[in-house]
Every structure is written in C-alpha cells, then in structure tokens.
Amino acid sequence: MSGRFEPLPDGGAAIALDEVEVSILRSLAMQLAELIGPGDQPAEGGDPLAELFAEGPSEPPADPALARLFPDAYRPPDQELGPREEREAREASAEFRRFTENDLRARKRDDALAMVRDLDALTTGSPAPAPAVLELVPNKSRQWLGALNDLRLAIGTRLEVTDEDDGGALLRLPDSDPRKPMVMAYFWLGGLQETLVETLMPE
C-alpha cells in the first residue's frame, strides 16, 4: 500500500504516508482552510434563529480559485446568453448564493480541517522509520474526498488548467520552472482522489 488508498473490510480506506507526504498534505489542507476563510458567518453567541436565516454574499468571490470552489449555480460556463437570459441567470445565481454559500463554505472548511486533524493524529512527534498507515472510516473518507477535490480545483485554477486541458502539458515543464512543485502536487492529489473514490464504490 504505497501512494494509493486501499479499501478496508469495514468500508473505510487506508493509505501509507511517509513524513514528507504528511507534511505536504497538512500544509495544503491548512492553506485551503485559510483560502476558504470564515466567509460572512454571524458572530458567535448570536441568535440561533437569526443565524439559521442569515444571508450570505450575492456576488461570486473575486479570487479565481475561490470562484472555482463557489461557482454561480445558474450561469453555465462558456455558454452565450442573450441579455434577458443573462440577467435572469445572474439574479437566480445571486439568490441561490445568498442562501447557500455560507453553509457550503463551512462544510468545505470543515473537510479541510478534518484532514489536518487526521494527519496530526497520525504523527507521533518523532521521525518514523517507515510510513505510517492512516485509516479512515467511511464518513472520514467522504470528508477527505471533498477536501482533495477542492485542493485540486484550487491548484488547477492557479495553474490555469481548463476543462478541455487536463494539464498534461504541465508535466513537461522543466524542473527549474517555479510552477513545477505545484504541478506535481496537482497530479499527486489526483491519484489520491481517484483511488479514494474507488474505495467508496460498491463492489
């Protein structure tokens, strides 16, 4: 078991991670949580009923990576719309975003922080002579899958990977290119994501 998730008998998943892999994953997950941020969450200690109906933002985030994580719901990308359809799509997207983005932002942040906590629990405080085995119960597997997907979307946006281009050309970048570490992380995370999905699929 190296570099891939394997299914566990109870329906969970397991993967062997060395110290460097744990460090990279933890750093990426922390950066993702910081990127997502708290959003427009109500202050703690407020009225629970008011918080339930609190409105979120109506405009998409300015950061391209965040905009990829929180896309407009009713404005298909790369599709030409007439003035009326454009206005209706914009208004519908704003309304949908207002009542869903805060919850979605909280869930994505929780997924990233769950990854951090699981990795922290895996480390013992001293260098391990061999890779440590991380075991995830099914619910944890789904949180990891969400975080891995969000990481790839954010990194892919930074690398300007499009739906039509899988980023294969980026693999041919010279080692001296400053984007190379991000490219390698993008494809490594893709492999982790793919094998984790396989453990969640019924046999």
**Residue pLDDT, tens place only, 10-66:** 889 999 999 999 999 999 999 999 999 875 444 455 555 555 556 677 688 899 999
Is the separation of the CB atoms in 48 and 167 below 8 Å? no
Give the residue among 86, 63, 84 at the shortest CA–CA distance from 76.
Answer: 86
Sign of the alpha-carbon torsion through 36, 42, 48, 51: negative
Is the separation of the CB atoms in 110 and 37 below 8 Å? no
pLDDT in tens, 51-100: 555 667 768 889 999 999 998 877 655 566 677 877 877 788 788 888 88
d(CA 12, CA 168): 31
